[in-house]
Amino acid sequence: MFLKFGKESHIRDLYENGTIYMSPIDSFRKREDSELRGDSYEGVNQIWNLPSGEFEIPSIGHKGKYISLHLSKSYESILGNIYSLYCISSKGFPSPNEFFIDNKVKGFGSHFLMIKNLPRFMELMEGGIKQTGFNFHHGFVNYYDRTTINGQINLFQKPSEFGYQKEFRFYADSHSMKELKFDIGSLKDISEIHETKDIGELKLASTLS
């Protein structure tokens, strides 16, 4: 299932009207909130982690050594919009016994919407984004260790510090840095509203056949 966290007014608007706010990607890179929604690595497209070696600055005739080197290359600006959800799935939790929601998610807002019918929600979301006229992609976010990875990075990858978010992401190729808003209709028949303070009471049950 999906969980969408936020302040009560936004969650109730989502529940009653299906109002979707897809945020501009660049806003996450610039946001400072102790690595909740803010991610300075959003938009990084390549990372190098190099072993010890030597370097030279010919212009000043300087040579030196370094123990290790971490370099990253980012887009100057990142166009497009994303909509993120917490996903409870076998990808994030291989067995019910491993199910655990980190208390950090309480920083995302006072309430959350539990979306229980994923096929119907996916149908509504895809229809809503199509009406905007933009191409889109969706999928799980994969998490990497930024101290060891070498290579290309895409918009569905984030540093492992964010792994507790279990993110499933919708990306709209809007070529814009403005918020994208649309409605997908009431979600009352496929979801429930809960207070985030009660998130620790959410449990998974295993079924044996």
User: Where exactly are the structural domains of the chain?
Assistant: 2-43+79-201
- The C-alpha atoms of residue 54 and residue 63 are separated, in whole angstroms, by 7
Digit-coded pLDDT (tens) for 18-71: 999 999 887 777 665 555 566 677 778 788 887 877 878 888 888 888 777 777
User: What integer best gives the mean pLDDT of the chain?
Assistant: 87
Digit-coded pLDDT (tens) for 195-206: 999 988 887 765
pLDDT level of residue 167 (50, 70, 90 thresholds): very high
This prediction has a pTM of 0.83
Nearest to 54 by CA among 62, 44, 64, 46: 64
CA angle, 91 then 97 then 99, to 5°: 50
pLDDT level of residue 208 (50, 70, 90 thresholds): very low
**pLDDT top residue among 147 and 169:** 169
pLDDT level of residue 94 (50, 70, 90 thresholds): confident
- The C-alpha atoms of residue 129 and residue 133 are separated, in whole angstroms, by 7
Residues of the chain above pLDDT 90, percent: 52
| Amino acid identity for residue 62 in this structure | H
Cα separation values, 160 from 14, 145, 157, 175, 207, Å: 29, 5, 9, 28, 31
> What is the DSSP code (8-state) at residue 17?
H
**Cβ contacts of residue 94 below 8 Å, gap of 6+?**
none
**pLDDT top residue among 74 and 15:** 15
| Res. 78: pLDDT tops 90 | no
